[in-house]
Amino acid sequence: MKLERIKHGFNFVAPYYDLFSYLLFQGRLLHAQTHYFDRIGKVDSILIFGGGTGKILPPLFKTIEFNSLTYIDISGNMLKKARRNCEAYESDHVTKIEFIEGSTEVLNKNQQFNLIITPFVLDCFSDENLLKVITKLDEHLEPGGTWLFTDFNEDQDFGIISDMRSAFIKSLYFVFNLFCPLGITKLPRFGGAFSQLNYSTVAQTQMLHGLVVGRVYQKLASPDREYQ
């Protein structure tokens, strides 16, 4: 099954993932995914989906107050590293975190969060699967809740920078698919998928010359769509 192969792929890359990411981006991807932490303040419950090796946890501990954090990743090896990263930082937080191996299916039916964070994970899905995954995650976000989205970005604009971005993203997928059979070669249309849910974009920023985008989505309390 495809998910099993993806899981094995990420298990295989887990020991090298941070080094690979550092060599390519020198910590800028971490900076991007924590960019909006300051504006969160205090929340009751957080879901981090596809958190990887847990580099995101220390900056989160520093800036966001929370009572419980559910940390889901499909890769057991990524989770082991995340747990270690967390324990090395401060043991107080460990008791508030539940690390769960799996994907959206591990979420309990009635589990609700105030904040969902998806850092560089939604790029692992095809357009069709992306919509399924975010629809499922959306069921677990309280109305009025916040969704911090960070991922690679491929605008439809033209020009040399845009061409270079597309070529770079293609090569990233090429390398990734060698170890981790995602079965996709281009970014899904994130904006199109989120526009099918009931969210408003309250902040957005582009980093690394537009290669990366961070967005703060807020789940609208009423089922009415907000047209902007």
Ligand X SMILES: C[S@@+](CC[C@H](N)C(=O)[O-])C[C@H]1O[C@@H](n2cnc3c(N)ncnc32)[C@H](O)[C@@H]1O
Q: Which helix (H) or strand (E) holds 70?
A: strand 68-73
Shortest separation between residue 228's beta carbon and ligand X, angstroms: 28
Shortest separation between residue 146's beta carbon and ligand X, angstroms: 17
Cross-strand partners of 130: none
What is the rounded CA–CA span in Å between residue 105 and residue 88?
A: 29
Site string for ligand X, 84-113 (x = CB under 6 A): -------------------x----------
Query: DSSP secondary-structure letter at 112?
Result: -
Q: Which of 60, 64, 69, 78 binds ligand X (CB under 6 A)?
A: 78
188 scored as a contact of ligand X (CB under 6 A): no
User: Which lies closer to ligand X via its Cβ, residue 179 or residue 191?
Assistant: 179
Q: Which helix (H) or strand (E) holds 220?
A: none
169 scored as a contact of ligand X (CB under 6 A): no
213 scored as a contact of ligand X (CB under 6 A): no
* DSSP class per residue in 179-208: HS-----S---HHHHHTTSSEEEEEEEEET
Residue closest to 34 by CA, chosen among 54, 70, 59, 68: 59
User: Which residue's C-beta sits nearest to ligand X?
Assistant: 52
List residues near ligand X by CB under 6 A: 6, 10, 21, 29, 33, 50-52, 55, 72-75, 78, 103, 119-121, 124
